Amino acid sequence: MPGAVLVVEDDRELRELVRRYLQRAGHPVRTTGSGAEAIGLLAADAVELMVLDLGLPDIDGREVLAAAHDDGRAVPVVVLTARSNVDDRIDGLRRGADDYVIKPFSPTELVLRVEAVLHRTRGGTSGGAAVLSFGAGRLRLDEARHEAHLDGVRLEVTPTEWGLLTALAATPGRVYSRYELINQVRGYEFPGYERTVDSHVKNLRHKLGPDAAQIVETVLGVGYRLGWSRDR
């Protein structure tokens, strides 16, 4: 049985947001706001992957990152931080981070990145991220590869467009308001106005081609939904 995803983040609200999204995706989750406690949990060998904020109040997050590889351990780490400087990212990757997500961020994208890392570290077993299929196989979303294909052709989508598509695909037919989508795709800290979703949907539809309005449907006065049902 796989271990838990450990979320190490001192901001309680953000910690709970990440926990909810990971649990909704089916992952067992443990959380802490303490670097020292995180090191103790790593030592207990109950962690399969760690989502780590480097800016912790008690100890330097880089010490926690190092602990993920101490004593023969090889716990994969997705760094979640406000440190957006390129040198900081390079330093984190050199210290053993498997991926690097900058705040503000899309919770949906973070989950997909976690699943992609798990897929790699599990050796590509069925426990990894799924390939979701819609519209009798015409639309396929490969969560591990972070790729969307329509009628066998890969779509060159931006991270925001990918986030919108996967957010809608989580529950086909469910109507999502612009507020829900902007928060799912860009995170609760995102200062942008909800109507920016319309611009991203317009760009996504352009890439989806002639069937775009049926794939991403507009519900007037409310928001958007995925019109194609998921294949069984």
My answer on whether 138 and 180 are in the same domain is yes
Position 74 scores a pLDDT of 81
CATH of the domain at 60: 3.40.50.2300
My answer on whether 135 and 111 are in the same domain is no
Q: Could you tell me which residue, 195 or 131, shows the higher pLDDT?
A: 131
Report the C-alpha gap between 64 and 56 in whole angstroms.
10
Q: Tell me the β-bridge partners of 177.
A: 223
Report the C-alpha gap between 86 and 102 in whole angstroms.
11
My answer on whether 173 and 206 are in the same domain is yes
Segments forming the whole domain that contains residue 79: 4-121
pLDDT for residue 193 is more than 70: no
My answer on whether 88 and 148 are in the same domain is no
Query: Taking a C-beta distance cutoff of 8 angstroms, is the pair 117, 68 a contact?
Result: no
For the segment 109-136, the average pLDDT, to the nearest whole number, is 73
Pairing status of strand 29-32 against strand 4-8: parallel
Position 104 scores a pLDDT of 81
CATH of the domain at 157: 1.10.10.10
For the segment 220-231, the average pLDDT, to the nearest whole number, is 92
pLDDT for residue 208 is more than 90: yes
Position 125 scores a pLDDT of 42
My answer on whether 41 and 135 are in the same domain is no
Residue 201 in any domain: the answer is: yes
My answer on whether 166 and 196 are in the same domain is yes
My answer on whether 99 and 204 are in the same domain is no
pLDDT for residue 189 is more than 70: no
For the segment 11-26, the average pLDDT, to the nearest whole number, is 92
Residue 232 in any domain: the answer is: no
What angle, rounded to 10 degrees, do the helices at 178-186 and 107-121 form?
40
My answer on whether 181 and 117 are in the same domain is no
My answer on whether 110 and 140 are in the same domain is no
Instruction: For the chain, give the mean pLDDT.
Output: 84
Number of domains in the chain: 2
Report the C-alpha gap between 82 and 212 in whole angstroms.
35
The last residue of one of the domains, among 59, 86, 121, is: 121
The last residue of one of the domains, among 121, 148, 175, is: 121
